[in-house]
Amino acid sequence: MVLWTASAAADPQVGEEASEAEAAPGLCVLEAVEGGVRCVGGAGEEVQLEHPALYGDPNRYRERQGGRRPVGPVRLSDRYYYGVRAELLVFDAQQRAVIERVALPTTLREIEAVREGETPYLRLHLEGESTPALRYTPGVSSNAAAYGGPWSWPETLGAMQDALWREEVALGREPGAVQAPDPELEAEQPDDGALLEAMSARAELDRTNIYYALYRAEALLRLARPEEARSAAMQAAERDAPWYDLLRASARLRYFGLDAAADLAMGRGLEAMRDAGVRPGAMTSPVAASFMFIWLREALDRVAGAPRVNEADATVSAARVLEQAEEAMPNAEGLRAAWRALGAESVAHLTRPGPGAMVEEAVDEVDEHLVIGLGLLLAMLGGGAVVGLGRGRGRWVAADVLVLASLLAISAWNLGELGRAAQRAAFVWEAPVEIGSDALNAPGARAWLDGLADSGARSQLREIIGVQELAMTRGRPLEGGIDGDTIARQLEDAIDAHLAAHAIDSPAELEVSPAVREEFGWLDAVRAIDLRGGRGLLVAAGLVLNALMLGGLVWVLLGRSPALGRRLRGWWPGAPAALGPARVGVWAAFCVGLAGVTPLASAVRGVCGEVWAGYYGLAPLAEAPGPQPWAVTLLVGALALHLGAVVQERASAARRARRAASAAPVDAT
């Protein structure tokens, strides 16, 4: 076996075939230089390919200072392989162009070329400790490099930055500049042709970078050359680019109304996504969604700012964009809020598996328990008045005291449920992004899984990781793999098992990282509700004492004015004596229902919905949800019981009056 190695820190060692390459006509020798690679032919001709992303900053690139060298290159046959950030690039020495780009989980550190039998292959070493070496065999099936989701989303922006930081793409890089052709730009400027030619030359040198053709299409649109723009857009959609670049380009093309090219890029992106071993159902993180569809936000922001006259058409177009994006991430957190912002929420979005749906359900529960807590507080404050009104001149009965005690018990239970719902949401938000990016084998994700409580779901996830890593190290597609929905359900079960083992009893026990608290500030308000120990007993005693004193006061006052008592009982929910022991229960249901229809009832859901919709570019359209249906039902039910009791009392009073009149003696005179 012959083995040679190349890394970013050393000069490339291309093996015994290097001299043949120098002598072979039409071929060139590729070498790493600062900020890119250079291919030198036998006659001294030179082709240089810059990668601005290696400079890490557009200003450093423009000054040509501080650029890193790519990893490699290493040669197999007439092709060279080198790494830029988290991608492996294949340079054909005969065509003198990059012809293939392989998405890797994270930054490439070292490349080994291995000759073993008749099939040479590459062993790819990634950054990080205890990361497995990947095997890549050139010329095999497209899904041989099924390495799963990225471990770091910023590392997937290399091709975009290579194009975006070029001076010549300034013509087409401004977002929103092509909504209508600018009359001042309809005539070509002296340097327009040179810029367009430069962009075409870049695209020909790096045939896997989709962004050169994409920006060229935008430039042609600005120059009011739609036919050429459509041609350039199709060229972009046909590039053999990584799956995430195709998905991003699809959203960008849709933004500019180039629908045919957008459809092609989306279809090819979804196919490449599956070939790369990325399961759409396992993409649950909204952060992952925002990186997958960077320009989805711009496309949908355009809807948010559309004039009213075009709003209906724009909403239909945005719904189509969102539907296509949903194919790549059907279980992503916040999709419900995005659909709600468009006014097109579907029942299908209520039954999605995984951490994303788990968070959305937890937020709904937080809203519900906050409403219940507020309603129960109002019920306790006014419960004494209900008892006093209901008893009139009578005496307090044990049933009334039991109902008030039950309200306190329900309040204590409600606080615990509130804390546990907030705990579920915060726990998922604090999980590494890789958990929702189908990258469970990333070091951060594995450490997070190891920290979960032991459960069957966690064990199964570990087994899945082991099988996936074995396939990656052998360079084979993951056969018999589990689909994304199953991964999402396993994660949900593992999180549920962990939270069941570490459930909190009070909102004050909630632990939240500063980053999550900054994004979802309402968690601080939940954590401030501390009724543990003596503080809780003091509050409970105060509420009971308030009920006793208020009930006694009402009892005394109404004893002196029965007519006033009758009027108040007709208007105060739960007060009619005909309700019996259910009086305070009806009053509590009324208070909780009333709290549920106030604008504050969906405050938490509204805040989270705006954050989620922002990931999809719909924050300007996001509105706080309306009254909660269960609260409306509770309010209507309480009022119906109250009115029924009032009618019954009045009917009983009328019957008593008639009996009294008929029983009265008749005056014979």
What's the pLDDT tens digit per position in 13-69? 444 444 444 445 567 889 999 999 998 876 667 888 999 999 988 888 888 888 899
Determine the pLDDT at residue 268. 94
CA distance 476 to 141: 9
Q: How many CB atoms lie within 10 A of CB 50?
A: 22
Task: Specify the pLDDT at position 111.
Answer: 93
What does the pLDDT read at residue 420?
Answer: 92
Q: At what angle do helices 456-474 and 484-501 cross, to 10 degrees?
A: 140
Question: What pLDDT, on the 0 to 100 scale, is given for residue 465?
Answer: 86
Tokens of 27: 């071929």
Classify each residue of 91-116 as buried b or exposed e, where b means 16 or more C-beta atoms within 10 Å of its C-beta. Answer: bbbeebbbebbbbbbbbbbbbbbbee
Collapsed DSSP state (helix, strand, coil) of residue 124: strand
Tell me if 99 sits within 8 A of 208, measured CB to CB. Answer: yes
Whether 102 contacts 112, CB under 8 Å:
no
- Select from 158, 271, 172 the least CA-distant residue to 216: 172
The helix or strand, by DSSP H or E, that contains position 84, with its residue range, turns out to be: strand 79-84
A 10 A CB-CB count for 532 gives 14
Give the pTM: 0.81
DSSP 154-222: GGGGHHHHHHHTSGGGGGG-STTTTSS--GGGSSPPTTHHHHHHHHHHHHHHBTT-HHHHHHHHHHHHH
- Radius of gyration for the alpha carbons in the chain, expressed in angstroms and rounded: 34
Between CA 353 and CA 319 the distance in angstroms is 22
Contact 367, 601 (CB under 8 A): yes
Task: Residue 42: count other Cβ atoms within 10 Å of its Cβ.
Answer: 14
Contacts of residue 614, defined as CB under 8 A and 6 or more positions apart, other chains included, come to 297, 622
Max Cα separation, the chain? 144
For the chain, the residue count is 669
Listed residue (287, 282, 277) closest to 105, CA to CA: 277
Contact yes or no for 247/276 (Cβ under 8 A): no
Residues 153 and 291: beta-carbon distance below 8 Å: yes
φ/ψ (deg, to 5) at 25: -70, 140
Under-70 pLDDT residues of the chain: 1-26, 42-44, 140-144, 170-191, 297-318, 344-351, 383-400, 475-481, 532-572, 574-575, 577, 580-581, 619-622, 653, 664-669
Structure tokens at 89: 């690039």
CA angle (190 as vertex; 186, 193 as ends), nearest 5? 80
In this structure, is the dihedral angle defined by the CA atoms of residues 458, 461, 463 and 465, taken in order, positive or negative? negative
Check: CB of residue 588 under 8 Å from CB of residue 383.
yes
How far is residue 235's CA from residue 661's CA, in Å, rounded to a whole number?
97
Per-residue confidence (pLDDT) for residue 13, from 0 to 100: 45
Whether the CA torsion 487, 493, 498, 503 is positive or negative: it is: positive
Cα-Cα-Cα-Cα dihedral sign, residues 453, 455, 457, 458: positive
Give the tokens for residue 399.
């049933």
pLDDT value at position 569?
60
What's residue 512's pLDDT?
85
The residue written with tokens 């070329």 in the block is 113
**Three-state DSSP class for 473?**
helix
The Cα 97–Cα 201 span in angstroms is: 11
Residue 385 is predicted with a pLDDT of: 66
Partner residues linked to 134 by β-bridges: 124
pLDDT, position 20: 42
Do the bridges between strand 108-115 and strand 97-103 make them parallel or antiparallel, or are there none, so unpaired?
A: unpaired
Q: Is 544 helix (H, G, I), strand (E, B) or coil?
A: helix
Residue of 191, 181, 88 lying closest to 134 (CA atoms): 88
Closest CA to 54 of 64, 46, 42: 64
What is the H or E stretch that residue 88 is in? strand 87-92
pLDDT at site 65: 84
User: What are the residues facing 358 on neighbouring strands?
Assistant: none
CA distance 165 to 358: 40
pLDDT at residue number 307: 40
- The closest alpha carbon to 600, from 398, 372, 264, belongs to 372
Q: Cβ(87)–Cβ(101) under 8 Å?
A: yes
Place of tokens 């939270």: 499
